[in-house]
Homo-oligomer: A and B are copies of this chain.
Amino acid sequence: MPDQGKLTFIVGGARSGKSAHAEALATALASPWTYIATAQAYDDEMRERIALHRSRRGEGWTTIDAPLDLAGALEALPDNQPVLVDCLTLWLTNHMLADHDVGAECRRLADVLSRTRGPWFVVSNEVGQGIVPDNALARRFRDDAGRLNQQIAAIADTVLLMVAGLPLKVK
């Protein structure tokens, strides 16, 4: 496996294989592996998805839940260990629903990620390639998610776009 640099950013659409690819990249490195989950189980559909991801990861992973304080969770990590953050768009959703200052939160996260201290793999969704959404909240989310993805891609060492489960190297 080629050197991924320190920060690898993996973007892609729904069911494009982002998480599985990020896990494969992380587990190609020596354990222990840390999984930072941003999902909050609002409903059964989400609970099911979380359980599916968790069962696929299997042994050797430590899971940390960080639906809001992702920057704090990252800062508390030891150096030089593989870390998977899954995913930024859910984290952003959580902050929007909590009516937090999204711009400030994104800057704080970008600041921590710009000081990545190991092979960190960060997953995010591409949500801007469909028709303009009808409702204003969806449009704001789409804008904020796009801006966040740009911020993180700018500081990442490697950026991958997932297409049908395959990585396309963007950076």
Contacts and interface: CB of A to CB of B under 8 A. Distances in A.
Nearest to A136: B45
Interface size class of A (residues with CB under 8 A): 35 or more
Contacts of A139: 45
B136 A127 contact: no
Given A45-B136, A170-B168, A128 B163 contact: no
Interface in A30-84: 45
Contact of A14 (B16, B132, B153, B164): B132
Q: Binding site of A, secondary structure by majority: helix, strand, loop or mixed?
A: mixed
A62 to B, nearest CB: 27
A143 B13 CA distance: 10
B11 A164 contact: yes
Nearest to A127: B131
A157 to B, nearest CB: 12
A171 interface: yes
A129 to B, nearest CB: 4
A142 B9 contact: no
Contact of A138 (B131, B138, B142, B171): B131
B168 A128 contact: no
A163 B127 contact: no
Which 5 residue pairs are nearest across A and B when measured between Cβ atoms? Answer: A130-B130, A15-B146, A13-B128, A150-B165, A14-B128
